[in-house]
Amino acid sequence: MDPTIKLHGNCGNQLSDPSKYRRLVGRLIYFTHTRPDIAYSLGHLSQFLANPTDIHYQVAIRIVQYLKNDPGRGLFFPSQNEAKIKGYSDSDWGSCIDTRRSISGFCFFIGRSLISWKSKRQKTVYRSLLVEAEYRALALAGCEARWLSFILPDLQVNNVTPIMI
């Protein structure tokens, strides 16, 4: 998705047949299981399923072109990997134009393999600085790290060092 485009509910002209847009986004959602690089974009486009516009449809078509031009990209799990877990967390303060809510996200890797990721609009609107939204994103990543530390021994992943975020 083009980072310079800020989508909102009133951009562009309404589609005469919104079911075409809904089917396209619904089909693209299946790709997010193996292509997490499009998960954020599809989550953003899913917000406009009720009243899609031609701009929203063009962005969805751009995602299809991206997938078509790079079919080999996806999740890769090498056979030899270190058991070191790293996590990354970030938030985008007030980035949703319609609601002014922040979007938070995190991802966790074992070695070079992506094992867990999430991007979500926060429930509250933060009126102060970016720091408040960042702390919220970090707290969500901390909860995920704790859950991973409980679940990984059940999956026979042993000798895991402390998780760095």
Where does residue 97 fall: left (phi above 0), alpha (psi -120 to 50 degrees), or beta otherwise? alpha
Q: pLDDT band for 102, please (50, 70, 90 cuts).
A: confident
Cα distance between residue 61 and residue 53, in whole Å:
13
95 and 62 in a common domain: no
- The total domain count for the chain is 2
Cα distance between residue 132 and residue 138, in whole Å:
10
96 and 69 in a common domain: no
Predicted local confidence at residue 87, as pLDDT? 92
61 and 17 in a common domain: yes
* Residue 65 belongs to a domain: yes
Instruction: Retrieve residue 105's tokens.
Output: 């996200």
Phi, psi of 150 (to 5 degrees): -80, -35
Q: pLDDT band for 92, please (50, 70, 90 cuts).
A: confident
47 and 1 in a common domain: yes
With b for 16 or more beta-carbon neighbours within 10 A and e for fewer, the 141-153 pattern comes to beebbeebeeebe
Q: Name residue, tokens 């990997």.
A: 81
Give the domain-ending residue among 75, 107, 140.
75
Q: Which of 72-86, 98-112, 136-150 has the highest mean pLDDT?
A: 136-150
Q: pLDDT band for 96, please (50, 70, 90 cuts).
A: low
Q: What is the mean pLDDT of the chain?
A: 80
